[in-house]
Amino acid sequence: MLHPPQVSLLLSFLLSAFLAKAAPDDAADASVAHDQLRTPIPIPYSAPLDYTLMTTAFLLTIASLLALPFLLSALRNRWTWAVATAFLSIVMTSGFMFTRVRNSPPFGRDRQWVAIGPQSQYGGEVYIITALYSILGFAFLMLTMVIPRQPAVRRAQLYFWSLVIALGYSTLVALFKFKMEYLERIYPFKMLF
């Protein structure tokens, strides 16, 4: 955990590194160099301070110090990390990085959303798989976290979310079976449809 003196040292170091990389005005330097070649008297020149950059850095430092307690409390919350982990897991298992690395098109010929074969995927198919995984994850969350706390409607919710899980997994299996049929391979597994 960073304490306030460490934060201020870190911010001052970043600010000094940022100010050191600020490029001087090349046109003014060229003009002074040209004039000094033409005159026998040296012309003293130093680039003016960039007050816009200094004001921006000062205001960002103040804003970050004021927001630090709120940011740290959000980062220490376990639900923040749970949501971030679930989101990242769903996006990555749906094939987002697969399509990004292979630079897959969003759709196939004739606006097909589903690519043929188990080793290919279009960008539009990622959205379908992400929606299915999100629905399944939410259904499992409802079964494990919400239903035990509501005894009055427990049975109806249990049947409903179990049906959602069965339909979701059936859709995933049917989608994979659809991808395999074009290759004339028989995919033997099936749930509801």
Q: Which two tokens stand for residue 105?
A: 């098109």
Confidence class for position 160, pLDDT limits 50, 70, 90: very high
- Summarised one tens digit per residue, pLDDT across range 101-123 is 888 888 888 888 888 877 888 88
pLDDT, average across residues 170-193 = 79
- Give me the pLDDT at residue 18, please: 52
Lowest mean pLDDT among 91-95, 115-119, 140-144: 115-119
Please give the pLDDT value at position 65.
Answer: 93
Q: Could you give the CA distance from residue 51 to residue 33 in angstroms, rounded to a whole number?
A: 24
pLDDT at 10: 52
Residue type at 115? A
Pick the residue with more confidence: 183 or 42? 42
User: What six digits make up the tokens of 31?
Assistant: 């003009």
pTM listed for this prediction? 0.58
Please state, for a pLDDT cut of 70, what percent of the chain lies above it. 84
Mean pLDDT throughout 59-67? 94
* pLDDT recorded at residue 72: 92
What is the pLDDT confidence band of residue 22, given thresholds at 50, 70 and 90? Answer: very low
Q: With a cut of 70, say whether residue 12 has pLDDT above it.
A: no
C-beta separation of 122 from 115 below 8 A:
yes
What is the reported pLDDT for 183?
A: 64
Q: Which residues contact 127 (CB under 8 A, 6 or more apart)?
A: none
Q: To the nearest 5 percent, what fractions of the chain are helix, strand and coil?
A: 70, 0, 30
Q: Which range has the worst mean pLDDT, 6-10, 20-24, 113-117, 140-144?
A: 20-24
- Length of the chain in terms of residues written: 193
Cα–Cα distances in Å, from 97 out to 90, 107, 122, 123? 11, 16, 12, 10
